[in-house]
Amino acid sequence: MKKIFTNLLCMAVVISMTACSSGTSGDTKQTAEIKETVSSSAAEKTEAGETAAMETMADGEPKYIDENAAELTGTVRLLTAFKGSLGTDDLIAAFNEYYPNVNVTYEIYTNNADGNLSANTNIQAGVTDVILSFGTHNTAFRWENGMLMDITDRLAADNLDLVKEWGTDAYTYNNRIFCFPSGGLSIFVALNMDMWNEAGLGDIPVSWTYDEYMEACRKMTKKDGSGAVAVYGGTDFNQRDYWTYSMRQTKGVDAFYNAEGKADFTSGLAETIIQRELDAEAEEIWYPKINLIKDSVKARDMLWSGKAATCVESILTRFVMDKENYPHDFILGYAPYPVNKEGETNYALGNMPNSFYCVTNNAQDPDAAYAFAKFASTLGGKYLYAAGHTTTWTGTDADEIVDLVFGSRENAEKYIDVDSYIANVLAVGQPAYHEEVITAYSEIASLIDEYTDYILSGEMSVRDGLQQLNDAANQAIEESE
């Protein structure tokens, strides 16, 4: 038997929403069906409300590996977005070093609207024991509809405190815990270093404003003899809601809500952010985001192909060594996500919440499933880096990540600017956005996608679109309270 006890500092490492490319969950179509088909709903078990089990024993050490690990038996059927070579095989192998008699199998799903619909169907059908769930909206939908196991008492028995281990206790439902808030994203500006250097832009900035980033895009934009753009200086990520990361950068907490818990899309910040993006597109220094959406083009493909010199990204690192499928001949650099105003704290520097390991409410071997989800969220969290994601677990040793992802620093230098990767992707100890309010979160996330399309397509003005978004979000909040 093996048991690991580790004392952790209570670090304010925080986690965030959205995922790499998370889509909406199709919740309005599924809610009634799920509530009818999922038996013993986890939500029905929350009537006790607040409980002493929510708090771990103050003098107890966290237990990451069960005392009976070597004797525990069972099968765990994992549903994840990451294929074996992106950390999943290594995660399972590491888990089996402690739990040799637990068989872990996995299936891959695509983290988009259709993929999340299929994932929910799998959970309903009883063929999934643990899911790596992306985005607060998808995960909240699952716990609200009774698909996830209540792990509150298990965490208490293991002395695992949400804040000490993962930096936040916001992701609860009816004062109960249904997920490990353990996966994060690091948002950055990916750089084609050949184009960066050709434009004479010097060292990768330690910090910069959006105005400074746009000026760099101007210098890297190229036009052909006819005046058509040959290379755009940059582009936003291809996901509709990525403009909200600039709100996170400035606010630091609860990007969608004001101090009173109401919607916060009409205070001026959101309008400034979206208008800035549209102005850059009109100037032809940024590739139009609506084209990315309509044509199903990924921002990173613009970078790999040389059609854009930079792009806002989060998971690009997972592809950089695969030159067969993503051919390119430049070193990848990582600049920090820009701030809206000079002197602001950059809450987009650290790792923001994105993914959650969850045990399903109908897991066939609950003890084994919980043990795996717990391991994947703590000692095994480092394997998320192989997929371009990050972990929010405060016990992670950043020094081993470069070797884990690239094999060695020497090998990493063939593909990336290592120092900027360490500074702006690993970003140890950097300030990070977090959430404390998630009222009607999944509904608001869907509304953001809807009204972003209206604005980017020109169907609505920025101001009118944000006003209607704000009104609809407030209605959703009122209906949830």
Write the pLDDT tens digit of every residue in 270-279. Answer: 999 999 999 9
- Give the domains, in start order, of the chain with CATH numbers: 27-184+351-396 (3.40.190.10), 188-347+441-480 (3.40.190.10)
pTM over the 0.85 mark: no
> Which pLDDT belongs to residue 352?
87
Note the pLDDT of residue 406. Answer: 95
| pLDDT above 90: percentage of residues in the chain | 79
pLDDT band of residue 422 (cuts 50, 70, 90) is: very high
Residues 6+ apart with CB under 8 A from 455: 274, 461, 462, 465, 466
Mean pLDDT value across residues 181-195: 96
H or E segment at 357? strand 352-359
Q: How many residues does the chain have?
A: 481
Q: How far apart are CA 170 and CA 178, in angstroms?
A: 11
Rounded to 5 degrees, φ, ψ at 353 are -60, 140
Average pLDDT over residues 321-339: 97
138 phi, psi to nearest 5 deg: -65, -40
Please give the share of the chain, as a percent, with pLDDT higher than 70.
88
Dist CA 243 CA 237 (whole Å) = 9
Both tokens of 180, joined, read 């490990």
pLDDT classification of 481: cutoffs 50, 70, 90: confident
On the question of pLDDT at 194 being above 80, the answer is yes
For range 190-216, the mean pLDDT: 99
Return the bridge partners of 184, or none. Answer: 353, 390
Q: Is the pLDDT of residue 429 over 60?
A: yes
More confident residue, 404 or 38: 404
Q: Which positions ≥6 away from 131 have C-beta within 8 Å?
A: 78, 79, 80, 119, 123, 142, 357, 358, 360
SS3 50: coil
In this predicted model, which residue has the larger pLDDT, 213 or 6?
Answer: 213
Which segment of 201-210, 216-225, 292-301, 420-429 scores lowest on mean pLDDT? Answer: 420-429
How much is the pLDDT for 474? 98
- pLDDT value, residue 59: 52
